[in-house]
Homo-oligomer: A and B are copies of this chain.
């Protein structure tokens, strides 16, 4: 199997701001008769590339407004997109927004047992704070789960999480299907840090760290543009 290994810094991501591209986002509040395809066609007609669409029920209580569509775009400014969409049938309101990548940036994902997830988080949030102060945007996102199947499913789902750039597995015993899920995630270019633990996960992890606070810190350093730490040079090491 050819595994394409790339730097955690350089993982390509359409949902992050990138030099030479114009990111845009627009939140559209629509009536029953609005058609998603017409909205997409209007944006494309102005040269936009669609990067993400999310839809929510309308909860502000405006008359006739039933649904919200949020679009993330490239090559069209938020303000231009909003003006454009106001003319599409069924649109009640269109507001320019920041993209979620502009606000929340790259994501460190932490999965595992509550006590250890919380300690990894302590390290990761504190380290992310220091990088965010220097102009980066790094979020730390977590879920506490128990059981091989639940954790393996969550590891696989990290590949589908927008802006996820690294995973930390915080537990005391992980193996079996979780290990298989880790290698699948690595194949899409997302590195995996594991606590030093029982089970086979540490044998496939990109980096193994005994102290959970340091595991969180190193995970942030691995994806920060403002850090010198590269996971390629650490691959297979244990701390």
Contacts and interface: CB of A to CB of B under 8 A. Distances in A.
A207 to B, nearest CB: 19
Interface in A55-93: 55-57, 59-61, 70
A24 B70 CA distance: 20
A193 B227 CA distance: 33
B51 A40 contact: no
Interface of A: 2-4, 6, 11-15, 25, 27, 36-37, 40-41, 50-57, 59-61, 70, 97-98, 100, 103-105, 113-115, 117-118, 121-122, 125-126, 128-130, 132-133, 137-146, 153-154, 156-157, 159-162, 187-189
B114 A130 contact: yes
7 contacts: A37-B40, A52-B54, A60-B188, A98-B153, A114-B126, A118-B122, A132-B145
B160 A100 contact: yes
A55 B52 contact: yes
A142 B140 contact: yes
A226 B128 CA distance: 32
Closest 5 CB pairs of A and B: A114-B129, A129-B144, A141-B141, A4-B61, A59-B189
A8 to B, nearest CB: 12
B125 A118 contact: yes
Contact of A139 (B118, B142, B188): B142
A103 B54 contact: no
Contacts of A140: 121, 141-143
Given A61-B2, A142-B140, A40 B50 contact: no
A4 to B, nearest CB: 4
A143 B118 contact: no
